[in-house]
Every structure is written in structure tokens, then in C-alpha cells.
Structure 1
Amino acid sequence: MTAARRRPPASASVVVLGGGVVGLSSAYHLARSGVRDVVLLDQDALGSGSTCRAAGGVRAQFSDPVNIMMGARSLDTFRDFPARFGQEIDFREVGYLFLLSTPEAVAAFEVNVARQNAVGVPSRMISVAEAQRLSPLISTEGLLAAAWSPTDGHCTPEAVVLGYASAARRSGVTLVPHCAATGIDMTGRRISGVRTEAGIIRTESVVCAAGAWSAEVGAWVGVDLPVTPLRRQIVVTEPLPGLDPHTPFTIDFDTSFYFHGEGRGLLLGMSDPEETPGFKLHRSDAWLPRLGEAIGRRAPTIGELGIAGGWAGLYEMTPDHNALIGRADTVEGFLYATGFSGHGFLMGPAVGEVVRDLYLGEEPFIDVSSLNAARFATAAARPELNIV
């Protein structure tokens, strides 16, 4: 049974394309700042793209200072989410634990921790013994050290979407799910409208928050948004007797294998080196032997658990694994916030504030000029090293 399609309004001050957390946060902050007639479109249900297929991790442990600040700013929102939005999101401040097994990784994380500490993030390097105390399921074989931040954690993406969507509606945003944008009209260098499956919306401003689908949106106005979809898969285990509810979000940095508590079981994931780009949203068992090998090496007890379920989602990858945030130089009225390479959910609250300020011509809380999409035409790209 298909959902009823709502007809979009005939005009808007700004149209946000994409109903994940980045788009919803942007629409909410725009409306809260006094922008009238904000319209948000999504081709499917709100959050049904990458957001609600995420692992739910929220952290400030990054290598790039801009990402550290956006992660920390967003963590403040996640901690206070019920008070701010009246929505419980099951936030668990259990910490993030990165397990390090090479001298190069240890040296890199020592630099990262210093950068994080400089802006108030309480991360620190810890011993292998302390890492095992924090995350008893791990095997310490081959480990040299670990990086730990107790204020990171995880929450429920679907609940965050609901909270932002409800707050956006209360603030006057018109949300139109199940209504795909099909093009953007221009008059000279200026946006004049957004074409949709259900009609044209007259507008002079568009925010592209379309995630893995952003390259096509950018092409409608001649803006290169180098975003490539890449499938990532997650499985959830059967209940684990005696699971410590304080089990941190634990990542074996060498393999990218990670796990955290999910109900009475565990949520597991890992990047698959054999995965190829594309809009693949179905699960595949082909990666399970590689996941099993990583589990057997780093947390063998988990390998004894049965799989209760799982899903596939899309990372929106950029060449340097950093986001694309900015205002187009060649098109008047086109803003973008996309390409987070797997970390859009956790940065969404802060990104919404930045988009609001860019639209209003105000100074954001953090300088995001380094994330302009035009950086790839120069030597300005600077890779984010701490991705999972």
C-alpha cells in the first residue's frame, strides 16, 4: 500500500531537499530564526535514506578540527534532546573506544587527542589493560594502546528524526515526504523554482541535504558535488547474557569492525574493502565471512552469537571523507550540506545551525570555508582520518 502523496505549496522562501537529520535540522533552525515558508521535500519517508539506517553513534573524536567542533556541538544537543524537543532518543553516554594496533595509528591518535583536548573534548590515550576493563568482550592480542572519550555514545536515529520533524512542524515548516524533487529551474544564475512529482514550487533558495543522492541535485544547477554512494551493512545479534549496559561503542581501528549494545544484544558493523559504489540498499551475505574474521580476531565471544537481523544503508562518500558545506559561487540561492562520509547523523544538529547562518549571511559558530565543494579544484582538500 503506497503512502498518500501530499501536494507541495506553490511557493516557499527556501526549499530543503532531503528529510534526514541534516535536512530536518536545517529546516528547523531556519524556521526558528524567523524564515517563513520553509518547505522540506523527501522522495520517501522522513529519515528513510541514510539517517535511519545509521548505527546511531555520536562522537567528537575526529582528526579535523572542524569535525571535532561540529561533533562536540552536536553532542550537546543530543544530551539535552528531550528537554529541547520533548522527544526521548535513548541517548547512552557510554563512550567511544578506539583500539589501536600499529605504531602509526597510536601516533596519529595522540595528535588527534591533543586537538580534541584543546577545544574541551575529554578524550585521552589509555593502556590496553584499561581498554579491556572498559570493553571486556575484546581480545587484546596485538593491541598497543587505545583512545577513549567518555562523553561520546549512541542514540536512536528514528527518534531524533521524529523529534526534529515535530519541532520543525511546530515552528512552521511544511514537511512533504513521498514527494521527489525532479529538477531545479533557473533564471540566469538565480534559482527560480523546484520541480517536483506533484508540481512546481516557486523559490529563490534551495538547500541540498540529499545525502547520497546529492550529486544529481548539484548537476541540476551545474554545481559539482562529488558524492558517491557506498553501501555499509549492519547486523544485530541475539541477546548476550550478562551484557554490561555500559559497554562502549568499541572500534577496532585497523579493520573498522565495531560494536555497541543494542537492547539485550549487540549491533555490529564494518567497512567492507570489497564493496563497490552504487545505490545498493539490500543486504548481502557476501561480506559476512570478512566480518567473521575480524570478530574472531578482536572479539571472539561475539562470534558465538546468532544473528537476529540487520540492514544496509548508504555512506555518502567524498574524495577526502570530509563533508561538503557551503553556498555555491556560481548559482545564487543554492546551499549544500552533504557528503559526510558516514557521519551526517552525528553532525546533523550542528550542521543545521551552520546552514541557517549561511542562509542568513551570518557568521557560523565554526568556520566551514574549508568544506566548500570548490576545494577539489585546488589543493585545499584535507582528509578526515578518523572515519569508521
Structure 2
Amino acid sequence: MQYPSTDFLIIGGGILGAATAWSLARQAPAGTGIRLVEAGMLASATTSQAAALLTRVRPDPAMAALVAETFAAVEQLDSILDVPLPLRQVGSLHLATDAPGQQYLRDTARTASNLGVVSEPLMQEDVRRHAPWLSIKGDAEALFVPADGYMDPVQLAQGYIKAARQAGVEVVQHCRVHALMRQQDRIVGVETSSGPMSAETVICCAGPWAIQMLAQQGIHLAMAPVRSHYWITEADQALFPAESPMVILPDANAYARPEVGGLLFGLRDRQAVYGDPACLPEDIHGYLFNRDPDGLECLESSWQDLANVFPALERLGIAHYMTGVSSYTPDGKPLLGDVDVQGLLVATGCSGGGVALSGGIGRLLAEMALGQTLFCDASSFSTRRFGVVDPFNEAFRMRCALARSQKRSG
């Protein structure tokens, strides 16, 4: 099939491509051509692997603005879609006993106040009421942020796509982008499994595959494929009520939330676990990283810290284990905007936060693409902020992986 030229072509039908397509369609002049191209099925790759915690409190005001825009986007989508999106706005409960963790709680409360986000300390009886599975020590401190929530990432992506289609976006699935088309110093389209597609502007939302794709054009993205993973326990509705909040455990470097009657809990690797961007398969599911393929090393190293606050872990079985690929940058912030070749914008490197940031990133990329005033300061997301890097260098990939292991928030 021969596709006509379009004004904007978005590579990738995951959460970022979907959000960008919808935002672009809402803001572009009538008659603007927008095409989204997805290699497989929409939201079936890294988006489907996300735990999808939507936490509002971020130390960087620009990051907080992106998350706030996601909550606003959900409200806007609910007003135009037939079925409301399944946002579980149950709040987040932050619990710490160790001094560094308690300092994290105080920093979170102060940041929340600066952002105008409500947070409140909790007494031990309130913690038990919110999350019956938690065991509280006498010197533990707890903070609750009631406006936080979580949702199914695939359903959110599908919501963006449905609204984008209603606004006139053309969606092409099962069409793999093999390479960018270039004329001198400008990208003019993409070569795909369905033939060439020309475009005035290409927006790359291809996740970890963007590293190899852009490297072919001499563009080196400062990010690496890093493991993110979580476990889901057997069901126990008495311990894990459906309306329980998300729980952030900085002492254990862990997070948790209810999931299908059990508890979904994620642990951050204490060692660097990363992949090779030159060897990513087309199907990301089941991808094996450089070490600890089944996650047992990570689970064993964090078991005692987690069991101290989650004693039922000792008797409950694990029903599911999910390992996924996150695109991490050295500072844990996304790579957004233009690069050193004209006609190309990128949105990637979300460092495990793509679902929470999606609404803001979609709006920001649409404003960049249309040459509009940006709704927030995007300087801290510049694609050039790390200077010249080699994303295929093992030391650099390890540096990105350490950004995940040192993360304390949700």
C-alpha cells in the first residue's frame, strides 16, 4: 500500500505515542494530517508491562506539571469517551522507619506543600486501616497523599488512541519502522514494512528501540534499556482490599498496590540490571537482561526488608512475576524535544514513569511540534543535557541502571 505524505508521523503506539497523537490532534489546525505507526498492536510492548503508579509529588516542578497534566487528561477523556477510564484514585501511603526513609517522607511533605498537593501524616491505626497487610513498628512514620492513584496502562493508552481517532488521527498497526528517511540534514519520513511514508515532522516515541533507530542517523540518545519488574501475590481480599492505597516503602526500595485480589509489589534492583539496545528483539516480552533472569537474586536480597513490613509475605505464594523494559536516563528524567537533525522530535527515556507523565509529555510534544508556547519549563528534559554519550557503552548503560536502583519514590 502506498501512503500519502502527512504533516506529522508518530512512531510508536505505546502510551507516549498515543498521548502525543491525541494532544496533537486537539491543538493542530483543522485539516492537519497526523499518522501514528505501530509495529505490532497498540500498547502491547513496554506500556503493557508498567505498574502505572500516578504519583503527583515530584521534586522537579516540571515533572510535577507533567503528572498533573495526566490527571487533567484523564478528566478530559472521561468527558468525551463512552466509558470512563478506570482511574483508581486511592492515594499513596509512604511508610519509613530508617532515618533516610523518614527524611524522604519529610521532603515529600514539603514538596507537596510547595506544589499545593495535600499530604497528611498518619497515625499507626490509620495505616492499618488503609493497608491491613502492613506491620508497623513503634518508630515508623507515615505520610498519605490522597490525590494519587493508579490505573491499567493499556486502557489509558487505548483511551488516548480512541480520542485521537475521533479527532481524525490515522492509526496504522502491524507496520514496523525500519529506518528514518533523511535528505541532507533533515528527516523527511520513515521506511516501513509497508513501504516509505513521507512526513513534514517525525515524532519518535519508539521506547527502547529508539536508541538503535536514531543511532543509524548519528543521534545518540542518553538512555539505556533497564529492567523493571514486579511480583503479584496470591489473592487475599482481607489483607488487600480493592480500595487500599498504593504504598511506597523507601526503606525496602519498594512499592506496592492492590491487583486482582492480591498485592502487586515492585523491587528495585540493588545491582545494575540492563540490556543491550543493539540486541532488543521485536517482541520485548520475555527479554532477558545481563543478569538475574528470573528476578530471584533481587527478591532474595530485598526479602527481609520487605518482610519486616509485610510479614504475610512469608506464607503467601507468588502468583505472577512480570519483568519489563524501562528506558532510563542517568538522572531519571525523560528526553523530550528536538535533536541535531531537523524534522525530528523525540519523546522517550521516561525512566519507569511514562504512564504517569504521559498526558504532560503528549501536550508538551504537541506544543513543540506546532511551535507553540510550552505550558511548562522543558529545559530539564533537553535531549542534549548530557553532552556526547555512547548508549551502547557498557559503563554508560550501567550508569543508567544505577539511576533506577537509587530511586526511592513510586
- TM-score by length of structure 2 reads 0.85
- Asked if residue 91 in structure 1 is aligned to residue 87 in structure 2, the reply is yes
What's the counterpart of residue 4 of structure 1? none
> Which residues of structure 2 form unaligned runs of 5+?
287-292, 389-402
2:253/2:407 contact within 8 Å kept: no
| Corresponding position of 2:352 | 342
Alignment deviations for residues 59-92 of structure 1 (CA, whole Å, 9 cap, x no partner) = 2122211111211221233355432333333211
Contact 1:39–1:174 under 8 Å retained in 2: yes
Q: Distance in 1 between matches of 2:83 and 2:341?
A: 37
Q: 1:358 maps to which residue?
A: 368
CA distance in 2, matches of 1:168, 1:98: 36
Of residues 289, 308, 325 in structure 2, which corresponds to 1:297? Answer: 308
Instruction: Tell me, in whole angstroms, the C-alpha distance in 2 between the residues paired with 1:246 and 1:341.
Output: 27
1:231 and 2:227 are equivalent in the alignment? yes
**Conserved in 2, the CA contact under 8 Å of 1:103 and 1:144?**
no
Residue 102 in structure 1 maps to residue 113 in structure 2: no
Shift of 1:208: 1.4
**1:236-291 Cα shifts (integer Å, max 9, x gaps):** 22220423232110121122222211122222221222452115742725244345
Counterpart of 2:64 in structure 1 is 68
Say which is worse superposed, 199-208 or 73-82, in terms of deviation.
73-82
Distance 1:166 1:143, change over 3 A: farther
Q: Is the CA contact (8 Å cut-off) linking 2:96 and 2:250 kept in structure 1?
A: yes
Question: How far, CA to CA, are the matches of 1:211 and 1:124 in structure 2?
Answer: 36
Give yes or no for contact 2:337–2:382 (8 Å, CA) kept in 1: yes
Of 184, 189, 197, the match for 2:193: 197
- Preserved contact between residue 118 and residue 145 of structure 2 (Cα < 8 Å): yes
Identical-residue share of aligned pairs (%): 28
CA distance in 1, matches of 2:12, 2:305: 35
Contact 1:128 1:143 in 2 (8 A): no
The match for 2:180 is: 184
Question: Who is 1:32 aligned against?
Answer: 26
SS of alignment partner, residue 241 of structure 2: coil
The Cα shift of 1:372 comes to: 0.1
**3-state SS of 1:272 partner:** coil
- Name which of 311, 314, 327 aligns with 2:325: 314
Contact residue 225 and residue 274 of structure 2 kept, 8 A: yes
| Match in the other structure for 2:382 | 372
Amino acid at match of 2:78: P
1:182 is paired with a residue of what secondary structure? strand
Alignment of 1:5-84 (within 5 A): 7=1, 9-34=3-28, 36-79=32-75, 81-84=77-80
Give the drift of 1:57: 1.4
Give the 3 Å change call, closer, same or farther, for CA 160–241 of structure 1 in structure 2: closer
State the alpha-carbon separation in 2 of the partners of residues 78 and 376 from structure 1: 33
Q: 1:159 aligns with which of 155, 159, 170?
A: 155
SS at match of 2:182: strand
C-alpha separation between the residues in 2 aligned to 1:386 and 1:65?
18
Instruction: Give the match for residue 398 of structure 2.
Output: none
- Matching residue of 2:290: none
8 Å CA contact 2:52–2:356 kept in 1: the answer is yes
- Aligned-residue CA RMSD (Å): 2.5
Q: Find the partner of 1:250 among 234, 247, 251.
A: 247
SS of equivalent to 1:203: strand
- Cα contact 1:236–1:308 (8 A) shared by 2: yes
| CA gap 1:223/1:142 in 2 versus in 1, 3 angstroms | farther
Query: Contact between 1:85 and 1:164, CA under 8 Å: does it hold in 2?
Result: no
Q: Tell whether the 8 Å contact from 1:86 to 1:163 is kept in structure 2 after alignment.
A: no
DSSP-derived class of the 1:44 partner: coil
Q: After TM superposition, give the deviation of residue 8 of structure 1 in Å.
A: 6.8
- 3-state SS of paired residue (1:373): coil
How many residues end up aligned between the 2 structures? Answer: 378
Is the 2:25–2:167 Cα contact (8 Å) retained in structure 1? yes
User: Counterpart in 1 of 2:336?
Assistant: 325
Q: 1:300: how far off? A: 1.1
Alignment check: 8 A CA contact 1:63 1:385 kept = no
CA, structure 1 residues 8+288, in 2 after alignment: closer, same or farther (shift >3 Å)? farther
Which of 277, 284, 291 aligns to 2:294? It is: 284
Task: Tell me the equivalent position of 1:265.
Answer: 262
| C-alpha contact 2:241 2:261 (8 A) present in aligned 1 | no
Cα 1:30–1:76 change in 2 (3 A) is closer
Maintained 8 Å contact 1:214/1:227: no
Q: 1:303 and 1:171, CA in 2 relative to 1: closer, same or farther beyond 3 A?
A: farther
What corresponds to 1:222 in structure 2?
218
Q: Amino acid of the residue matched to residue 349 of structure 2? A: G
Question: Which residue does the alignment assign to 2:397?
Answer: none
Does the 8 Å contact 1:292/1:303 carry over to 2? no
**Given that residues 60 and 70 in structure 1 are in contact (C-alpha distance below 8 angstroms), is that contact kept between their aligned partners in structure 2?**
no
Instruction: For structure 1, list consecutive stretches of 5 or more residues without a partner in the other structure.
Output: 1-6
Question: Which whole-Å CA distance do the structure 2 matches of 1:291 and 1:178 have between them?
Answer: 40
The one of 116, 132, 138 aligned to 1:120 = 116
Note if contact 2:267-2:299 (Cα within 8 Å) is conserved in structure 1: no
2:74 aligns to what SS in structure 1? helix
